[in-house]
Amino acid sequence: MATDSTREPLLTVSHVSIGFDGTPVTHDVHFSLFPGTITALVGESGSGKSVSAMALAHLDPSQAEVSGQAFLGSNTTLNILDNTLDQASLQKLRGGQIGVVFQEPMTAFNPLMTLGKQVEESLIYHQPKLSKQERKEAVLHAFEAVRLPQPERIFTAHPHELSGGQLQRVMIAMAIINNPSIIIADEPTTALDVTTQKAILQLLEGLARERHLAILIITHDMGVVWEAAQYVYVMQKGRIVEEGSTRQIFTAPTHPYTRMLLDAVPKLTVDSESEASPTADSQAPALVQLEHVSLSYSHRAQAKLALHDISLRIGAGETLALVGESGAGKTTIGKVISGQLTPQQGTVLIGGDNLAGLKGKKLRQARSSIGFVFQNSSSALVPTKTIGWSIAEPLLVEESLGGTKLSSQQRRERVEELMKHVGLDPALASRFPYQLSGGQRQRVGIARAIALRPKLLIADEPTSSLDVTVQKRVLDLLRTLQQEYGYACLFITHDLGIVQEVAHNLAVIKSGEIVEQGSVSEVLAHPRHAYTRTLLDASPRIDISAR
């Protein structure tokens, strides 16, 4: 790193190659980490980012074959990649010298243990002489360091009682509690809403600066790279193909792959003259109409208001983007529209029919006219069933409810047709979900959603965990299919950059209330509500003049 040539790196990695069963997955990887600096390792899924970084803490699968060198500071006698390191050295390395922030905090924590006890475990391993009271004080101090409110309450809380952003802060507290010099953060903001993402990135920046930490962020999100990193390594197919300062990478990329990553980033523009977003037909008949809808949940004998006085309209062939933070009520609205939840007040009209008044065959027909694309493509597919079966399932269900009967040959042909429509090779029909990439699985989900030629598609965060290049292809696909099938679309997201790419109209929801709605260009160029302006301010925007 040329800008840090006068400083000694806290970590130097060189000539690292990793393989499994004799098959190499990374080749001659190198990078350096410096104190007080955030470095990004960026690339698509499967490029070798995580496996390269996790090898430093010996967190790769046991069958991994690792070669190369990694030295801490000026100590060039101890190669921390040495697979003959004893248990004491490994324990000192993990958590003591290198802290790790994992991608999915909800799955990284034990759901049955309080968070305080889980963070304490690291102290028991690394600082066994601390008393019980000293351990608790250290945990509370770490919670304060990561700006968690009410540390005492969080100490006794279980994982399900915290939001995703709060859990990520607990994960960071666990990573720093033994004062390591290096932090590896693996996709630390994936699936977080924009305001939470910004807060987590600001927290990492502050920790790097205040504690002189070297932080390595592993990410596929170029917006995160721009917001947080000072130096960047670009990884493709197991190799470092480009490196440089963040400004250099964004203003003068030399490798075609880097340029492709940058070109795929959704561009958020707020110019009222922008032609970026699609234009809607204001005369299109309303396919979906919500009028003064309110919904409450019963929780511990108390009513919790989830939606308050919601009024929305989606015209045939139009896309309405519904934007807000986690817990705002976006998914709840999708469930109300599809009939999965019944509001206590208000009216839900689908094609002019009141959903509450439909029964029997008419209700089944209304529901079969709605397709769903879910956020997590892995959990949306049955792992023990083939891709062909998953795509055919809606057809089979429709048949069982009195729909058109298809022969096995007709069903197989329809599956092949759907796979071609979403850009999948029909030969993949015999594969299982784990054999497909994330982007391919999401295409399978889209094929399922359009199998019955729906009038309405509800896409709930369909690209939130996808690489930018895969995300762009999926968004292009959704636009093309809408033009072909003519369906209306409710697009649920927290990413305003994506909104501009796919939606005609935009509704902003906060704490169960629609605070603003209108055309995408109108809302982005002239936001009236303070919350909309907060979302815009928190959205990553690549501004070269700012660096």
Which tens digits make up the pLDDT trace of 180-193?
Answer: 999 999 999 877 88
Q: Which two tokens stand for residue 6?
A: 């006068």
Structure tokens at 390: 């998953």
Q: How far apart are alpha carbons 186 and 111 in whole angstroms?
A: 21
CA distance 18 to 530: 49
Same domain, 373 and 451: yes
Edge-to-edge, what's the strand order for the sheet holding 488-493? 370-373, 456-460, 488-493, 319-323, 505-510, 513-519
Report pLDDT digits (tens) over 94-104: 888 999 998 77
Higher pLDDT, 325 or 33: 33
Residue 431 lies in a domain: no
Q: 497 in a domain, yes or no?
A: yes
| Domain-located, residue 436 | no
Question: Would 434 be classed as within a structural domain?
Answer: no
pLDDT of residue 2: 47
Angle between helix 164-176 and 132-145 (nearest 10): 120
Q: How sure is the predictor about 337, in pLDDT bands with cuts at 50, 70 and 90?
A: very high
Which range, 171-185, 421-435, 458-472, 529-543, has the best average confidence (pLDDT)? 171-185
| Last residue in a domain, options 138, 158, 179 | 179
Same domain, 455 and 493: yes
Say which residue the tokens 């997590």 belong to. 376
Residues 339, 463 share a domain: yes
- Contact (Cβ atoms closer than 8 angstroms) between residue 497 and residue 267: yes
Q: Put residue 473 in one of left, alpha, beta given phi > 0 → left and psi -120 to 50 → alpha.
A: alpha
Helix ranges (H only) for 55-193 are 87-93, 105-108, 115-126, 132-145, 151-155, 164-176
Residue with more model confidence, 483 or 468? 483
β pairing state of 11-20 and 286-299:
unpaired
Same domain membership, residue 107 and residue 91 = no
State mean pLDDT over 37-41.
Answer: 97
Q: Are residues 247 and 117 in the same domain?
A: no
pLDDT (mean) for 367-379: 83
**φ, ψ for residue 296, nearest 5 deg:** -125, 150
Number of H helices, E strands in the chain: 20, 19
pLDDT in tens, 141-168: 999 999 998 999 999 999 988 888 899 9
Mean pLDDT across 487-515: 93
Residues 93 and 57 in one domain: yes
Q: For residue 359, what pLDDT band results from cuts at 50, 70 and 90? A: confident
Domains in the chain, number = 3
Cα–Cα distance measured from residue 392 to residue 70, given in angstroms and rounded to the nearest whole number: 50
Host domain of residue 471: 286-297+305-386+442-538
Query: The domain spanning residue 89 has which CATH number?
Result: 3.40.50.300
Chain mean position to CA 184 = 18
**Tokens in use for 411?**
């069903």
- CA Rg, the chain, in Å? 25
Q: Assess whether 196 and 249 both reside in one domain.
A: yes
